[in-house]
Amino acid sequence: MTIYIHVWTFVSVFKAVKNDMEGFVVGGEYAQIAQYPHSVFLDINCGDSYICGGSLVTNHLVLTAAHCLSSCNSVRRDHIIIKFGHEVIDRMRTQSVRKYVKHRHYNDETLVFDIAMVMARNAIELGRFVKRVALMAKYPKQPSAGYMAGWGVVNSEQEETVVLKATVQKFQPNNVCSLLGNLPAGTYCAGPIRGSGAPDQGDSGSAFVIQGYIQIGIVSYKNPRYSLVVYTNTTYHYDWILRTAERLNCN
């Protein structure tokens, strides 16, 4: 039996809505970029205009969600802009994009393999407020909760924040995640701890981290009925990340 559920991706759309899948921090707390120096803001203008999040994995490469780039078929200098280095959007430094790669098995309807990598045109200078995440091939132990920061909408009126916000999310057991039906391969679900807020539109692609700097997931989509968020599992995709980074750096 096929189960159809209504899910939202966390893309924030400026000009047009592509479909009814929306992949958030509503509530949460204001954060300093020094707490999440890996966090980047992606300003995407490929026909439709979107905002998404991402994370620095090297001084050239940003990890994000594939659905953030679903309208992009090529890259011009102004199609995708990486912003970084400050919690306030208007004070961030910027860098244009040279190229990007979406997972070749990504599906825009099911959101399976919702992972992509973007390459900056020039090296991004690292420092106190601009740092790389750490990626792991497997967890040392199963974490109970993680943190996510982004510049998505901040309330039910869909007002976007100009300042970084963060939320803590608790891993949910299989019997809870099963409320969402069959999750895509290489994903898991988490939900907000009471009063901690949750990701929302504009937070797609943002990193889900433990211990402050170890990335274990990417914001993919949520089911508003259950307040559950589905994350692309970066440990599951660890080999893809390594291969794609090598491919982008060598081409």
| Number of other CB atoms surrounding residue 75 within 10 Å | 18
Domain with CATH 2.40.10.10 in the chain: 38-131+237-250, 134-233
User: Per-residue pLDDT tens for 186-221?
Assistant: 999 998 765 445 455 568 999 999 998 999 999 999
φ, ψ for residue 247 (rounded to 5)? Answer: -60, -45
Domain 38-131+237-250, CATH among 3.90.76.10, 2.40.10.10, 1.10.4160.10, 3.90.1150.10:
2.40.10.10
**Higher-confidence residue: 6 or 228?**
228
Question: What percentage of the chain has pLDDT greater than the value 90?
Answer: 56
Mean pLDDT comparison of 91-95, 149-153, 165-169, highest-scoring range: 91-95
Q: What is the CATH number of domain 134-233?
A: 2.40.10.10
| Closest C-alpha to 206, from 156, 166, 175 | 166
Residue carrying structure tokens 């099911």: 110
CA 178 to CA 182: how far, in whole Å? 7
User: Per-residue pLDDT tens for 29-41?
Assistant: 889 999 999 999 9
φ, ψ for residue 153 (rounded to 5)? Answer: -70, 155
| Residue 210 identity (one-letter amino acid) | I
Say if residue 154's pLDDT is above 60: no
**Higher-confidence residue: 22 or 232?**
232
- The confidence score (pLDDT) of residue 200 equals 52
Answer yes or no: are the C-beta atoms of 223 and 180 closer than 8 Å.
yes
